[in-house]
Amino acid sequence: MADGVTRQTHDDAIARIAEMLGARLVTSAADRAHHGQNETDFPETLPDAVAYPETTEEVSRILAICNAAGCPVTPFGAGSALEGQHLAQAGGISLDLSRMNQVLAVNPEDLNVVIQPGLRRVALNEELRATGLFFPVDPGADASLGGMAATRASGTTAVRYGTMRDNILALEAVMADGTVIRSGSRARKSSTGYDLTHLLIGSEGTLGVITELTLKLQGIPEAVTAATCRFDTVEDAVNCVILTVQSGLPMARIELVDEVMVQGFNLYSDAGLPEKPHLFLEFTGTPASVAEQTALFEEIAGEFSVDGWSSATKTEDRNALWSMRHNAHYACQALAGPGRRIRSTDVCVPISRLAEAVTTAQRLARDGGLTATIVGHVGDGNFHCGVVVDPTDPASVAQVAEFSHTIAHLALDLGGTVSGEHGIGLGKLDLMSREHGPALAYMRSIKAAFDPNGILNPGKLLPPASAKETLS
């Protein structure tokens, strides 16, 4: 909480930013509330003001003012983060990049595009359609590309195209003191010093504000077939995935949904699916290679209890299938009912340990009497339990936190990570020490070097230091 003096310096900083931005510095209750919401069960957290810069120069001046005043700045893309990353935990400015949403250059001959960070994923792909190219990273939510870079997002297509880490060539960022830097280039690779591009990717707005991105593009595949099939048990479905990945079949998407999630789809999307574990699949390539991949997958799945094949080639049918999958969070919410929220776990394990991880999670949820769905980008070993929580009941909140914690420790025991794609934010701070050990102190040194006054998204990603992990 800001004391009287701090409050005054923050207010002075906000007044100076208001002079610069005019009506684009907003302090209305509605706007602050919009930026203080989240899709999970973190309490509403209001910034003191919301700033809407339109240029890198404005971002630079805002940060210089805030740095001098020690006023916190939390970058905001679309506010879809699931670990509370975009919440202005320490007050100050919510820096909303949504007006910096232009495509700056399309370079089809080099298969890349230069964009501003507030551009949304769907809008980018609409702009690119005529070029025959697309940007493949797809977290389902219509997130901003700056937010996706800052959380190192991925999603259903990462099994084929990788995560944001693999799809950014270069960026421009504004540092805490207002200095503008560029990192990377339009070349496909570089061997010149520390890789600041990849340090900023996944830094959750704690090291700098991304103001431009150069993204890799892919050709729109000639043929696409989506398909679903079901299994008697989650274990069979997961073992089918493991064998598929180990066979080297180039899946475009391979997603697990368990029987509880299917109940949610039936409720929310009127899907009419039998309530059994399903795989949602996509095959892409030339028509001949899609036919070959489909046949190979069917052969692998035939070794398990597969049934109920259904496939779709028309764009609208495929879109309906993936839109149902992308709405999984809201389908969980429908299962939960009014007043309840969804806490999403996000562990990722080596593919060989996936069956053990998923079945243990299912058993722990069942034994604890929790309502929990399982969906997973299982080709990457990444899955989410969507656990119903009653935010007004401390016992429910504690039980769900404990469940999440247990799954996270299980993932670490299996050689995995506590977050495959959603990031740390506020929700996983207590797991950073176990996952990173002595490396955490080096992360703190990086934060101190980039942001000595601690103004960038304070309270996120790094837990408070313990005496043990200080660098000698």
* Footprint on this chain of ligand FAD (rule: CB under 6 A): 39, 74-82, 85-86, 97, 117, 139-141, 143-144, 146-148, 150-151, 153-155, 204-205, 209-210, 329, 421-422, 457
Q: How far apart are CA 383 and CA 305, in angstroms?
A: 21
Nearer to ligand FAD, 216 or 329 (CB): 329
Nearer to ligand FAD, 383 or 403 (CB): 383
H/E element holding 73?
Answer: strand 73-76
Least Å distance, CB 120 to ligand FAD, is 8
Least Å distance, CB 348 to ligand FAD, is 11
**Phi, psi for residue 301 in degrees, rounded to 5:** -65, -30
Q: How far apart are CA 264 and CA 270, in angstroms?
A: 9
Written as one string, the DSSP assignment of 42-72 is: PPP---SEEE---SHHHHHHHHHHHHHHT--
Determine how β-strand 209-216 pairs with β-strand 112-115. Answer: antiparallel
Nearer to ligand FAD, 216 or 300 (CB): 216
Written as one string, the DSSP assignment of 293-330 is: HHHHHHHHHTTTT-EEEEEE-SHHHHHHHHHHHHTHHH
Least Å distance, CB 249 to ligand FAD, is 22
Least Å distance, CB 150 to ligand FAD, is 3
Least Å distance, CB 137 to ligand FAD, is 8
Residue 106: CA count within 13 A, CB half-sphere: 17
Nearer to ligand FAD, 75 or 427 (CB): 75
Q: How far apart are CA 165 and CA 204, in angstroms?
A: 13
Burial class (CB in 10 A: 0-12, 13-18, 19+), 234: buried
List, edge to edge, every strand of the sheet that includes 93-96.
25-26, 49-51, 93-96, 73-76
Report in angstroms the alpha-carbon separations of 426 from 27, 84, 86, 120, 247: 24, 6, 10, 24, 38
Burial class (CB in 10 A: 0-12, 13-18, 19+), 394: exposed
Nearer to ligand FAD, 204 or 259 (CB): 204
Nearer to ligand FAD, 99 or 405 (CB): 99
Least Å distance, CB 403 to ligand FAD, is 20
Nearer to ligand FAD, 146 or 277 (CB): 146
Q: How far apart are CA 112 and CA 135, in angstroms?
A: 9
Q: What are the b/e assignments for 167-184, b being 16+ CB within 10 Å?
A: bbbbbbbbbbbbebeebb
Least Å distance, CB 346 to ligand FAD, is 8
Least Å distance, CB 371 to ligand FAD, is 18
Nearer to ligand FAD, 301 or 372 (CB): 372
CB proximity list for 266: less than 8 A, separation 6 or greater:
272, 273, 275
Nearer to ligand FAD, 38 or 304 (CB): 38
Nearer to ligand FAD, 15 or 33 (CB): 33
In terms of phi and psi (left: phi > 0; alpha: psi -120 to 50; beta: otherwise), the region of 22 is: left
Least Å distance, CB 191 to ligand FAD, is 26
Least Å distance, CB 334 to ligand FAD, is 13
Q: How far apart are CA 54 and CA 47, in angstroms?
A: 19
Name residue 283's beta-bridge partners: 225
- CB-CB contact of 51 with 93 (8 Å): yes
- CB-CB contact of 10 with 3 (8 Å): no
Least Å distance, CB 140 to ligand FAD, is 4
Residue closest to ligand FAD (Cβ): 147
Nearer to ligand FAD, 306 or 408 (CB): 408
